Every structure is written in C-alpha cells, then in structure tokens.
Amino acid sequence: MNKKIPGGMDAAEFLRTYWQKKPCFIRNADNNFQSFISRDELFALACQDKVESRLVLEIDGDIPWQVAHGPFQKEDFSNLPESHWALLVQNTDLHLPAASSFLESFNFIPNWRIDDLMISYAPENGSVGPHLDSYDVFLFQAMGKRRWSINNLDYDENDFIEGLDLRVIENFIPEQEWFLEPGDMLYLPPNIAHHGVALEECMTYSIGFRAPSNHEIISRYVDDLLYSEKEQRYTDPNLTVSAHSGEISEKHLQDIVTFTKSIIPDEKKLEDWFGKFVTQLPENCQDEEITQYLDADSFFSLVQNKKYLLRCSASRTVFIRKNDFIILFVNGESYTLPSSYEQFAFDFTEKHKFENPLINKNRLDPELTILLCRFYNMGIINDGTD
C-alpha cells in the first residue's frame, strides 16, 4: 500500500526516517490550503459548553503566562491586548466535519494513535511559551506566519518556571528554527522542546498523537474492572496447621501471587477493553440524546439510493480483524461482525464520507441494515445531510 503523507513523501519512508527519530519540515504540504475555520468562528466555538478551550496570556494577566479555561463569553475576546496571547481549542475534529476530514490526510498512522486536532489562533507575538510534549505532533500552518524554534536538550522539573499553569521552559536556547507559511508543516517527535511565535496574525493546526503510559493503561483497566467485575476474596480451603503463626510461608506467598495475577486479563478480554478504551469520547463530547428513531425498514427506504453515508464528527472508530470475524469499536462500544463485512469496516473507520454498503440492495443483508440503523438512531451516521 503506497500511502503518502501531506506534501507527497512516501509514508513508509517518513516512518522509517523521521517518526519518533527526528524533526521533519515539509514546505508546501498543501499548496492551495485555505483554513476551514475563521478567527471569529474559532472564537464562537470556544464559547460553546462542550468545547475544551484555553486562553494563554503571556503578558497583561495577573501573572505571566496566565491561563484561562473556556467556555468563554464573546466579551472575553474584545478585552484582550493587541499581542502576546493565544487561543487553543481542543478536539475540533469531534465538533467540525471539516476538521474530521482534514485528519484523513494522516491515515498512514493508525486511528487509535491520533488523539485530536487542536487549532490555535494568535495575533502577532502570540505564543504558549517554550515547552515540550510527550507525544508526536504535526504542526500545520493554516493561516499567517509562525516561527518555530527547537532544541534537543534534556529537561527536568527544575527547568520549568514555577507557579504557572503551563510548563514553560525558563531558559530556552534555540538550536534550529523554521519559518512556516500557510500550507507548510513541521513534524516533531516526543520530548523535543519547541517554541512557536506568531510573526503576524496566524492559525496553526496541531495534530497530536495518543501515547498512553503503562501506568495510564493499567490504572484505567483496573478502574474499569473494579467497576464491572464482581469482587473476589482470597480463600484457602486446604489450609494446614502452621508451625509458626507469625510466618508468611512460601506457599502462602505463591497463593497471593496467583490470586493477584487473576486480575490480569486474557488476550480476548484485553483486546475488547482496549478497543473500547481508545474509542471513548471525552465526556464533554458525548452526543445529545436522539429523539427520533427509525425502524430498519424505514431506515433502508431512506438510504437505499444514497451513494454515500456520513459518519458524524463526534465519533471514534477502530476495528480488530480476527480469523473469521471482525470486532468493530465505535465510541466505546464493541460490535462483532462476520468477516464478510471487512470492506465496510475499512471504509467506515477510515472515512467520514463512506460508500453506502446498502445502495441498490434489496435488503439482502438484514444484519448490516440493522447495525447501520442502530448507528443512525444513535446519531453516529446520517444520510448525507451532515
């Protein structure tokens, strides 16, 4: 499969040469790019209750690098200084169909690894300060010009300014820099210190990648297990008389090890949990309750002549392929499908506008019709009117 990254580089070459190894600057990743959201539209998005947003003031706040969290009011933006601030809006791909479509350009990376598309706006000299991220990021310049500086130094907690809501590096020394114009893109591996400063009014799209720690995976799994599984207690029906009551014997230690390991899932349980874990939506992005429902026949009549269906922005999808079946995960739920649904799984998880598998069919596949009808009633897909 000969996939390309934005700008035309072979995806396999990029992954082999740059991914989690070194930065990669791509001039003209998209020659004709026009931002799909304006400044005022981004401000309006940041005022919505279900949208996660932050406003960073480098100066003119009560303290340097002051952070305010949304939702904001329209008046908040009219009282800002002329420079040295930035607005960041997270998870725009879960709110804007155009943002979801934009992420399809990065389908050379598995869906579950992509965290979100954050859009930042800044006037001249706007910034969030020199910092580093523990994950990969693509920085796509959507509007205006921005200077990005990086270095490869190792930092510890003593290198960050104390008392801030942001982890701003106190003494950042640039080693390399690029000047990005609309359509340019910069890839940075994890833990590369970087500092982006707007040279004029600008907007940057940041494609961040999910990199869960082993602590996060284990703690989340155990939390979910404790919530869903019945509690078990240690038992010892074959207990024998102890020569010394104060001793924890080797046998008892081994029994405790065995008992503790019983919480560790087998492969089937773990893969089901992980698929649900990586497709769960943030709490503030949960769909509103759907009030109008269709039965399978009515749904089929609605879509049978539609060439395409649309998966809504507020959805996360992956699948696991087994020998004779497929497990489809959608927004934290799993669905077991026959292997004959393979092409549907490819299309549904890779594209927001996907080919309608029911077009011009005479209900020959009632199971698929019922599944898609369920997704329609849950607000996960629609008939092309998104």
Kindly indicate the confidence band of residue 359, based on its pLDDT and cuts at 50, 70 and 90.
Answer: confident
Tell me the mean pLDDT in the region 293-308: 92
What average pLDDT does the chain have? 91
Tell me the mean pLDDT in the region 132-160: 95
Q: What is the pLDDT of residue 166?
A: 86
Tell me the mean pLDDT in the region 370-374: 94
Tell me the mean pLDDT in the region 136-161: 96
Distances in Å between the alpha carbon of 22 and those of 8, 196, 204? 18, 18, 21
d(CA 226, CA 302): 43
Tell me the mean pLDDT in the region 136-147: 98
The answer, yes or no, to whether residue 310 has pLDDT greater than 70, is yes
Q: What is the pLDDT of residue 209?
A: 96
Q: What is the pLDDT of residue 363?
A: 52
Tell me the mean pLDDT in the region 169-177: 95
Tell me the mean pLDDT in the region 43-58: 95
Tell me the mean pLDDT in the region 331-345: 94
> What are the beta bridge partners of residue 151?
193
Tell me the mean pLDDT in the region 69-83: 94
d(CA 148, CA 230): 52
Tell me the mean pLDDT in the region 19-46: 96
Q: What is the pLDDT of residues 90-103, one digit of tens each?
A: 999 999 999 999 99
d(CA 97, CA 385): 11
Kindly indicate the confidence band of residue 222, based on its pLDDT and cuts at 50, 70 and 90.
Answer: confident
The answer, yes or no, to whether residue 191 has pLDDT greater than 60, is yes
Q: Which residues contact 206 (CB under 8 A, 6 or more apart)?
A: 117, 118, 119, 120, 137, 138, 139, 140
Kindly indicate the confidence band of residue 179, based on its pLDDT and cuts at 50, 70 and 90.
Answer: very high
Rounded to two decimals, what is the model's pTM? 0.90
Q: Which residue has the higher pLDDT, 108 or 259?
A: 108
Q: What is the pLDDT of residue 62?
A: 65
Q: What is the pLDDT of residue 221?
A: 86
Q: What is the pLDDT of residue 386?
A: 46
d(CA 74, CA 230): 49
Sole residue written with tokens 């405790």: 256
The answer, yes or no, to whether residue 189 has pLDDT greater than 80, is yes
d(CA 368, CA 335): 11
Tell me the mean pLDDT in the region 3-24: 97
The answer, yes or no, to whether residue 88 has pLDDT greater than 90, is yes
- Buried (b) or exposed (e) across 148-161, using 16+ Cβ within 10 A? bbbbeeebeeebbb
Q: What is the pLDDT of residues 224-250, one digit of tens each?
A: 877 777 778 888 888 888 888 888 989
- Buried (b) or exposed (e) across 189-228, using 16+ Cβ within 10 A? beebbbbbbbbeebbbbbbbbeebeeeeeeeebeeeeeee
317 closest CA partner among 117, 114, 98: 114
Kindly indicate the confidence band of residue 364, based on its pLDDT and cuts at 50, 70 and 90.
Answer: low
Q: Specify the 3-state DSSP secondary structure of 53.
A: strand
- Give the dihedral of Cα atoms 155, 156, 161, 167; nearest 10 deg: 80
> Is 277 within 8 Å of 331 (Cβ atoms)?
no
Kindly indicate the confidence band of residue 60, based on its pLDDT and cuts at 50, 70 and 90.
Answer: low
User: What domains are there in the chain, each with its CATH number?
Assistant: 11-209 (2.60.120.650), 214-224+267-386 (3.40.366.30)
Kindly indicate the confidence band of residue 23, based on its pLDDT and cuts at 50, 70 and 90.
Answer: very high
Kindly indicate the confidence band of residue 288, based on its pLDDT and cuts at 50, 70 and 90.
Answer: low
